[in-house]
Amino acid sequence: MNVKYFIDKVIIITGASSGIGLAAANLFASLNAKVVMAARSVEKLEEIRKDMPDPEKVLCVKTDVTVEEDCKNLIQKTIETFGHIDILVNNAGISMRAKFVDLDLDVIKRLMDTNFWGTVYCTKYALPYLLESKGSVVGVISTAGYLGLPGRTGYSASKFAIRGFLDTLRVEHRYDGLHVMVFAPGFTASNIRSKALLADGTPQGMTPRDEKKMMTAERVAQRLAYGLRFRKNEMLLTPVGKITKFFTFAMPNFSEWCEYKLMAKEPESPIKKK
């Protein structure tokens, strides 16, 4: 990959204080891009910024993506500071773990507000500048955006919605030079599972999976850069993700059976083993 591609590119990353967002911010900063880091804790972002190769090329903006005005402000601050936008990475997101029958509906609303509406708000306000630069907009989804994961109704719904939104946006701007990428990492070693919401909306505080066996956030960031460099429409990073997508369309009943068995094996899974 030609790393010169990212020199002085203005790249906005939401959810940049941890996980994939943080790894991506560090990677793009090392490639001499101008990085805009967005998260709810601007204090944490500023601490991270100090250790980056060129802090003067990094902008930190306090952003709660569930708040439309925050997303609008994020774009405005970026334009005021750097003058244009080349890439928007909609990465901010939360997860959940509970059967729908037991679920407080506010949990689904919180997931849709963060995952889906956060993507919509940021994309809406960045779009005129991305069209001008013939830039890229990315939505970070999951294999849960291709097949409904049991115990993850709100999460899957939000990821399906992001994929549908971005796929449609790509078609609408097919001849405008806009690059739209749906990016599905699969299970990644990060803190998203420890912060996943339970049926009553409280964080589960632990991960049900062995994080050591997962792809690292740094590796995911490298694949993200690859997809951006070559303007891919879709990136599924794991063999499981690719197989899941294939069988979802080719053999849906078999795919659902496999998903149920897989998710039922999680420690303290809300799904009963059959």
Q: List active site positions.
A: 155
Count CB atoms within 10 A of the CB of residue 96.
23
Decide: 233 and 182 in contact? Cβ < 8 Å. yes
User: 């996980």: which residue's tokens?
Assistant: 19
Q: Which of 116, 132, 108, 272 is nearest to 198 (CA)?
A: 108
Decide: 39 and 16 in contact? Cβ < 8 Å. yes
Decide: 21 and 91 in contact? Cβ < 8 Å. yes
Angle at 109 (CA atoms; ends 104, 114), nearest 5 degrees: 130
d(CA 233, CA 249): 19
SS3 category, 139? strand
Q: Which of 66, 64, 63 is nearest to 116 (CA)?
A: 66
d(CA 6, CA 15): 20
DSSP assigned state of 196? -
Instruction: Return the structure tokens found at 35.
Output: 């990085």
